[in-house]
Each structure stands twice: as C-alpha cells, then as structure tokens.
C-alpha cells in the first residue's frame, strides 16, 4: 500500500511549516525531522478528514508543537541524571545589556545573512528560554498557555521569555558586525 | 549604544523573529514519511493498537470480554449467596478444562523453579545478584561518563 498522490501534495504544502515549528522548539535538526515524520504519520491516519479541512494547517501546527514539547520533556527526564540541569548563565540578578539601536542593528548585513544569524542565535539559546520564547513569538500563545504546556510556573515563563529575549539580543550583538562570522 | 526598555526589546525581537521565513524541510523527510507509511501498512492488525483492529474482531473481542466478565460476576454472586464453592469450581473446571490444564502447568513450573533454586547454595545466588548489580552500576557509570565526555562536548 502506498500513500495517495494527494497526500504527497498535502505533505509538500505543509512540510516546511511543520519542520520549522519542530526545529525552532527543539533546536536540533535531526530530532525535528523525526518529529515532523511523526506528525505526518498522524496526519495520514486522519487524512480523510484533513484533506478537506480548512484547519489542517492549524491541526498540524498544534500536533507539531505538542509532540515537540513532549519530546523535550521526555528527553529532559531521561538525561537528567547525565546532565547538569543548572544553567549557570541564568543565575543571579539581571544584568543590564547595552544593545545597538534597532535601526542600526543589522546595518550593512543582507537579509539572508541576517535571517541565518537569527536562526542560529535562536538555536544557541538554552532550552528553557528558547521553548517559551518560540511559543510566545511564533505561535502567539499567551503566557498562561505556555506555562500550562511547559508545566512551569507563570512567573518563570515570564522571566524565561524576558531573559531569552535579552540573551538573543546579546548573541545578535556579539555577531552583529558584518565582518564577523557567526560562530557555529 | 542605547539601552532598550523591555517593551522595545519585545517589539524588536518579535519583529525579527516574525520576519523569518519557514525553515526548509530536508528532502529526506518526504521519503521517510512515505517509507514509514508503507512499513506500517505491512504490520498485521494484531500487532497494532485497538483502533486498527478490523470491526469484526473488535466485536468478537467485546463479546468475549463481556462473557468472561459476566461469568466472573455470576461466580462471585453465587459464592456470596452460599453456593458450594468446590461444586462451582468443579463445574467450572469441567467446562473450562483447558484453563485448568494451564493452571496445573503453571503450578508445576513454579514448583520446579522453587526446587531448582532451593538446590543452589545461597552464597552462589547472592554472588550472582551482586555480580549483576555491579555490572549494571559499571555500565550505567560508563554510559554517564561517555555521555558527559563525548555527547555533551560535541553540542
């Protein structure tokens, strides 16, 4: 049995969106591909309903988000013994960081290069900052919903998002010079 | 350099993140999904979850499960109302002779295992258990060490 051709078309229409959602949340391309595969297998099982549904995109995005968050939480539990779970860069009082004014921030950098920097900066963020930041800015979820999905307190979500923004800006400042290469 | 307020920072980050186009999915994704779908199609229904079972099998399973539950409830009711337990057991045993044989086989296996383990000196048993625990701890430690040194240093 092979998948019908319209499922292949369906997959081609949505695969970038599903993969983007997963990779930005997980921060790992291989694992994001696994999640995207799982999402499309679930979609195939419900394809009779999804093929005519106007909300197929939303459904795929929600499933990709939920599977990615489940994956992160499962992975975190599994490796808790092996990893240091304290993020030393997140301790202590907030430090004030000076940022370049937004309009001069990417002066002299072409847009493709700029996008690459932002994507890499996002990947570099620690997971506990990246996940709520992505859910807030890309998925438009409110703080309360993020707290529920990630199973952390509302105040921690707010702090993590704020620090995530600061860390992202810091990384972008460090990589902001057009002559500097982004460290990968 | 100018300091941004949290509101300015939020706006700035939001604009930058929202300006990003979707990441391009790897070419391998489509092939992987199609291959997985084909693989799943070859798995027999009895190796899949309940929702994949054919309707006739699901109905038969429901009927069987209902029958067993009914029999258990009836037996319990009869026992509670003073029915002769041994007579009920004998009657049930006659009707369910296969289950009786399985029960006797399980009893015999358990008895055999007890006799075998009873002949092994306890020192050997404890030594074996200690060896298993030591090997488990060693491989767990090696795994943790390998993860810390190899995996985490590469990320």
Q: What is the pLDDT of residues A39-57, one digit of tens each?
A: 999 999 899 889 888 899 9
Distance, CA of A89 to CA of A80 (rounded, Å): 18
Q: Scanning every residue of chain B, which has its alpha carbon at the shortest distance from the alpha carbon of A17? A: B22
A112 touches B at CB < 8 Å? no
Closest to A122 measured CA to CA, from B60, B20, B98: B20
Chain A: nearest CA to B7, how far in angstroms?
Answer: 10
pLDDT tens, position by position, B105-122 = 999 999 998 888 888 888
Q: Scanning every residue of chain B, which has its alpha carbon at the shortest distance from the alpha carbon of A83? A: B148
Which among B1, B20, B28 has CB closest to A100? B1
Reduced to 3 states, what is the DSSP secondary structure of residue B44?
coil
Chain A: nearest CA to B37, how far in angstroms?
Answer: 7
Distance, CA of B41 to CA of A3 (rounded, Å): 10
pLDDT score at A38: 95
A99 touches B at CB < 8 Å? yes
Which among A82, A105, A137 has CB closest to B14? A137
pLDDT score at B25: 94
CB A163 within 8 A of CB A87: no
Residue B5 in this model has a pLDDT that exceeds 70: yes
Chain A: nearest CA to B15, how far in angstroms?
Answer: 9
pTM above 0.90, yes or no: no
Residues in chain A predicted with pLDDT less than 70, given as ranges, are 1-3, 77-110, 174-184
Paired with A99 in beta bridges are: B2
Rg of chain A on CA atoms, in Å = 19
pLDDT score at B61: 93
pLDDT score at A175: 63
């Amino acid at each position: 049995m092979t998948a019908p051709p319209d499922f292949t078309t369906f997959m081609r229409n949505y695969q970038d969106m599903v993969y983007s959602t997963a990779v930005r949340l997980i921060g790992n391309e291989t694992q994001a591909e696994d999640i995207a595969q799982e999402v499309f297998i679930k979609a195939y099982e419900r394809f009779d309903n999804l093929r005519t549904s106007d909300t197929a995109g939303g459904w795929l995005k929600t499933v990709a988000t939920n599977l990615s968050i489940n994956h992160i939480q499962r992975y975190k539990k599994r490796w808790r013994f092996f990893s240091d779970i304290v993020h030393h860069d997140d301790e202590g009082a907030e430090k004030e960081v000076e940022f370049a004014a937004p309009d001069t921030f990417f002066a002299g950098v072409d847009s493709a290069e700029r996008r690459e920097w932002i994507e890499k900066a996002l990947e570099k963020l620690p997971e506990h900052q990246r996940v709520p930041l992505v859910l807030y800015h890309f998925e438009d979820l409110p703080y309360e919903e993020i707290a529920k999905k990630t199973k952390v307190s509302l105040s921690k979500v707010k702090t993590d998002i704020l620090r995530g923004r600061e860390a992202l800006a810091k990384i972008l400042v460090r990589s902001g010079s057009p002559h500097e290469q982004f460290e990968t | 350099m100018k300091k941004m307020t949290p509101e300015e920072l939020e706006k700035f980050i939001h604009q930058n993140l929202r300006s990003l186009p979707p990441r391009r999915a790897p070419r391998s994704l489509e092939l992987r999904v199609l291959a997985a779908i084909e693989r799943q199609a070859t798995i027999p229904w009895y190796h899949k979850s309940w929702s994949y079972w054919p309707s006739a099998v699901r109905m038969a399973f429901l009927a069987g499960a209902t029958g067993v539950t009914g029999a258990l409830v009836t037996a319990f009711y009869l026992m509670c109302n003073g029915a002769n337990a041994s007579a009920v057991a004998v009657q049930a045993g006659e009707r369910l002779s296969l289950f009786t044989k399985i029960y006797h086989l399980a009893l015999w296996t358990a008895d055999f295992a007890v006799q075998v383990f009873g002949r092994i000196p306890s020192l050997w048993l404890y030594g074996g258990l200690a060896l298993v625990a030591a090997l488990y701890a060693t491989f767990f430690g090696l795994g943790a060490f390998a993860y810390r040194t190899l995996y985490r240093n590469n990320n």
